[in-house]
Amino acid sequence: MRSSAVDKGLRTGVVFGIVIVTMFLIGFTVTGAGLVGKIFGVQSSYSTPPLVFFSIFMILVGAWAGVTASPRPLLEADTWNRALLAGGSSGAVSGLFSAIIGFLFGELNSNRIDPRTYLPSVSPESIKMFLFDQTPFIGSLLMFALMTGSGLAAAALSFYLRNNGAVRSSLRKASESVWDSIRSERVSNIIQNKYTRYASLLAFAAILIILPRTWGGYWNYVFGTVGIYIILGLGLNIITGWAGQLVIGYVAFFAVGAYTFALLTAPEPHHLMMNFWVALGLGVLAAAISGLLIGLPILNLRGDYLAIVTLGFAEIIRILLKSDLMTPYTAGPRGIRDIAGPTILGKSFISDVDFMYLIIIAVLVVTFLANRLQNSRTGKAWYAINLDETVARATGINAFASKLLALSLSAAVAGLAGVLFASRNQFTGPDDHALMVSINVICLVIVGGIGNIPGIFLGAFALKGLPEILRETENYRLLIFGVLLIVMMRLRPEGFLPAKRPELEKASVQNPLGKEA
C-alpha cells in the first residue's frame, strides 16, 4: 500500500521534473514568472521578472505535481499517510530534477561558460533567477526544498478538501443551490420572457456600439481580426461543415476578394479609384465566380479532390502575385498600398472605430444569412450530401449543383472577408495570403465545433483573440497552439460546441414538420 503511493509519487515526479527541465531549457520559466506577475498587475516585459513571481510560479508547478500524485478516492485508498507520501515524493523528485539542472547550469555560469551558444533561451539572468540569486549549491537546495514543500502542502490541502465533511457538504450545497436557482421556474420564465430577451438583445447591441469607442485602437485591431476570422470561419463552414467537402486552400478566395478590391480602389498600379461599395460588391462577386470556376470541373467527383485542387489554387495565386510576370498588373511582392476605406455620401469612414463597426455589421449579416441557409431546403440538401451522397442523389438532390452553390457561397464570404481585410489595413500583399490563413480557418472551425455557428465564434476568439491576449507567450504560441489542438481532439473530438441537431432538443414536438407545437 505504502510502496504503491511512493511509486505513484515517483512516477508523477519524474514527469513533472522533465517538464520543468524542458521549461527551463526553452526559457519558459522566465515567461511563466512574467505571466504570474501580469496576474498580479505588474508589467515586466523585456526584463527579468521579480523573484517573488518566479517562486510563486514554481510553487504552483510543485503544487500541481503534488495534487496529481495524491490518491483518487474512488480507485485508491485515501488516507493522510498515502496522500502525504505521494505528494511529498512527487514534489521531491521533481525538485531533484530542478535542483540538478539548476546546479549544473549554475556551475557553468560561474565558470563563465555561456550556454546560449547551444541553448539560445538559457540566459545568465534566467539561470540566476532559477537559483534564486544564490550560489549554485544553496540555490539548488532551496529549489529542492521549495518543490518538496509545495508538493506536500498541495497534497495535504487537496486531501483536506476531499475528506473534510463540512467543506465538502458546503461546496455541494452551494453548487446545488446555484443549479436549482438556474433551473427554477422563475429564472427560466425570466430567460424566456419576451421583454427580457429584447432587453438582453438591447444590452448586447449597446455593448457592441460602446465597446469599439472605448477600448482603443489596439483592441479594435485585435477584435477586428477576430471578426474577419469569424466571417472566414462561417464561410468555410458552408462548404466544409455543412456540405462536407474539405477545402484546404480557402485563402485563395480571400486573396481574390482582397486583390480585386485593392486593384479597383488603389491609385497604384491601375488608378481606377472606384467607390468603396461598388468595389466591395465586385470583390465578393469575383470570389464567388472563382469558386464557381474551381468547382465546375471537379465537384462531380467524390473524395478529396476539392481539397487538393483548392490547395494548389491557393499556392498558384500566391506565387503568381509574387512573380515578375504579374508585377505590372498586381504590383508584385511589394503589394498594393493606399486601398480605399468606406465612404458614405462622400464622407469617408476610415478610423479604427468605424472599421470595427463595419466588421461587426458584416459579421452580423453573414451570421444571419448562414443561420437562414442552415435551416433552408438547400441547407438540408447539403447535410444530406455530407452524410451520404449516393442516398442524397437517390432522393432527388442535384448533388453537383448543391455542392457548386455551397462552394461559390463559401468563396463569396471569403471574398467579403478579404475586402474588409484589405480595406482596413489599406494594404495587401502576397504574404497576407499564405497558406497559414487557410490552416487557421480550418483549425478554428474544427476547434469551435464543425457545423455550428456559435462554435465558430468561440473558435475564432480562442485562436485569434487569445494569442493576442497572451502576447507574453508569443514565442510559444505555436507550441501552445499545438498542445491545445491535441488536448482538444482528445477531450472533445467534435469541438468545444459540437453541432446539435435542433430537432433532438424538442422531443415533444407533435407536428411532423417540426414547426412550433
- Residues lying near another protein in the complex (CB under 8 A): 377, 380-381, 383-384, 387-388, 390-398, 501, 503-504, 506-507, 509, 511-514
Distance CA 238, CA 445 (A): 11
Q: Which is nearer to another protein, 168 or 506 (CB)?
A: 506
Q: Which is nearer to another protein, 185 or 505 (CB)?
A: 505
Least separation in angstroms between residue 391's CB and another protein is 5
Least separation in angstroms between residue 503's CB and another protein is 5
Least separation in angstroms between residue 510's CB and another protein is 10
Least separation in angstroms between residue 495's CB and another protein is 15
Least separation in angstroms between residue 305's CB and another protein is 17
Least separation in angstroms between residue 463's CB and another protein is 26
Least separation in angstroms between residue 501's CB and another protein is 7
Distance CA 270, CA 326 (A): 13
Q: Decide: 155 and 88 in contact? Cβ < 8 Å.
A: yes
Least separation in angstroms between residue 515's CB and another protein is 9
Q: Decide: 47 and 125 in contact? Cβ < 8 Å.
A: no
Q: Decide: 442 and 237 in contact? Cβ < 8 Å.
A: no
Q: Decide: 123 and 47 in contact? Cβ < 8 Å.
A: no
Q: Which is nearer to another protein, 155 or 446 (CB)?
A: 446
What lies within 8 Å, CB to CB, of 46 at 6+ separation is none
Q: Which is nearer to another protein, 45 or 398 (CB)?
A: 398
Instruction: Look at the alpha carbons of 348, 351, 357, 358 in this order and tell me if their dihedral is positive or negative.
Output: positive
Q: Which is nearer to another protein, 373 or 462 (CB)?
A: 373
What lies within 8 Å, CB to CB, of 10 at 6+ separation is 89, 90, 93
Q: Which is nearer to another protein, 22 or 375 (CB)?
A: 375
Q: Which is nearer to another protein, 41 or 493 (CB)?
A: 493
* CA distances (Å), origin 513, targets 214, 344, 395, 478, 509: 47, 45, 18, 47, 9
* CA distances (Å), origin 403, targets 147, 386, 467: 58, 10, 34
Q: Closest Cα partner for 423 from 288, 233, 314, 278?
A: 278
Distance CA 418, CA 513 (A): 39
Q: Which is nearer to another protein, 149 or 244 (CB)?
A: 244
